[in-house]
Amino acid sequence: MMPHGKLSKLPTHLAIIMDGNGRWAKARMLQRIIGHQRGVETVKKVVEECSNLGIRYLTLFAFSAENWFRPKTEVKALMLLLKHYIIAETRRMVEDNIRFQIIGNRSELPVDVLHYLDEASRLTAGNSGMILTLALSYGARQEIAAASKRIAVEVAAGRLSPEEITEESFARYLDTTNLPDPDFLIRTSGEMRISNFLLWQLAYTELYFTEKNWPDFDRDELIKALVHFQSRERRFGKTSDQVKGRV
Ligand code: IPE
Ligand code: IPE
Ligand code: MG
């Protein structure tokens, strides 16, 4: 196990694209769903570890708007897994002071699954610890289009003037309205793309890719990624000297 000592600067908001469950299973001649089951175990460990480390916001990409187009049996199995996960974990989130919420197109989620997700959100709403956000049926382009539509309605009704549309006000119409932009994004499984995740919010996020498939991602891998984050210089368009306060 790697020590925590090196972790002087944690990301305030950590986002993760949990990828590679299917390939993990295939490499072991197992069905994809077994990979998803193992992936849930990783979720539990990573949530606990991030909460213990003191990360304020953890956002996990669990199911994309495009994932609905996977084979029906896989989609059904994923929804069932999600339901079992949330039923089993709600109490622990209450006890661990974790506040749970979802982002994405909730109207597409099965009503029974949504019921337990909302229950978890309600029961943890008063918690003051880490905010755990699950992105479900989530697509960033859809989110941005939906935000634009809501803004257009406000303008048409005369409640908002076009001049009032700024970066800051626009962001308030996104699903992530109560979250700061992610500081660090981890994607597992070696794929180096964003896959329609948080397109607006990732503008200045540090990106990190690991070859490990999500079921093989563990505490040591998380610490390794977070140690790597320490060495990143975030310039936000400025020069290195400016950032270091030399000018
Ligand atoms: C991530 O693993 C989980 C979801 C997208 C739901 P995948 O299912 O995408 O696994 P691979 O990428 O096919 O290996
Ligand atoms: C992205 O993974 C979505 C989630 C991790 C939930 P995918 O496996 O769906 O992404 P692509 O299709 O490889 O880009
Ligand atoms: Mg994948």
Residue 86 lies in a domain: yes
Count the Cβ atoms, other than its own, within 10 Å of residue 29: 7
- Closest ligand relative to 39 C-alpha: 1
The SS3 of residue 19 is coil
| Whether residue 67 lies in the annotated active site | yes
- Specify if 5 maps to a domain: no
| Domain presence at residue 4 | no
From the list 21, 52, 67, 181, the catalytic residue is 67
Residue 247: the pLDDT is 82
**Intra-chain end-to-end CA distance of the chain, in Å:** 40
DSSP classification of residue 101: E
pLDDT value at residue 129: 98
Q: Does the pLDDT of residue 114 top 90, yes or no?
A: yes
Residue 221 has a pLDDT of 98
Q: Is 193 in the pocket of ligand 2 (CB under 6 A)?
A: yes
Q: Which residue owns the Cα nearest ligand 2 atom 3?
A: 64
pLDDT of residue 157: 98
How far is ligand 3, taken at its centre, from the CA of residue 21, in Å?
7
> What is the maximal distance between C-alpha atoms in the chain?
59
Q: Are 105 and 65 spatial neighbours (Cβ–Cβ below 8 Å)? A: yes
Q: Which atom of ligand 2 is nearest to the CA of 20?
A: 8
Domain contains 237: no
**In the prediction, which pLDDT does 5 show?**
62
Say yes or no: CB of residue 61 within 6 Å of ligand 2. yes
Q: What's the mean per-residue pLDDT of the chain?
A: 97
196 pocket-lining for ligand 2 (C-beta < 6 Å): no
CATH number at residue 96: 3.40.1180.10
What pTM did the predictor assign? 0.97
CB 59 within 8 A of CB 179: yes
- What's the domain count of the chain? 1
Best probe residue, ligand 2, of 16, 46, 64, 79 (max atoms within 8 Å of C-beta): 64
Helices and strands, number each (H, E), in the chain: 8, 6
Whether 127 maps to a domain, the answer reads yes
User: Which atom of ligand 2 is nearest to 67's Cα?
Assistant: 9
Counting residues of the chain whose pLDDT is more than 70, the rounded percentage is 98
Mean pLDDT of 22-35: 98
What pLDDT was estimated at residue 7?
82
Backbone angles phi, psi at 191, to 5 degrees: -75, 135
Q: State pLDDT tens for residues 64-87.
A: 999 999 999 999 999 999 999 999
User: Is 19 known to be catalytic?
Assistant: yes
Amino acid at 174: L
216, part of any domain: yes
Domain that holds residue 64: 13-229
User: pLDDT tier at 45 (50, 70, 90 boundaries)?
Assistant: very high
Q: What is the pLDDT of residues 179-200, one digit of tens each?
A: 999 999 999 999 999 999 999 9
User: Which-ligand-closest: CA of 195?
Assistant: 2
- Residue 238 falls inside a structural domain: no
**Full DSSP string of 153-219:** HHHHTTSS-GGG--HHHHHTTSTTTTSPPPSEEEE-TT----TTSSTTTTTTPEEEE-SS-GGG--H
Percent of the chain with pLDDT over 90: 96
Q: Assess if residue 239 is contained within a domain.
A: no
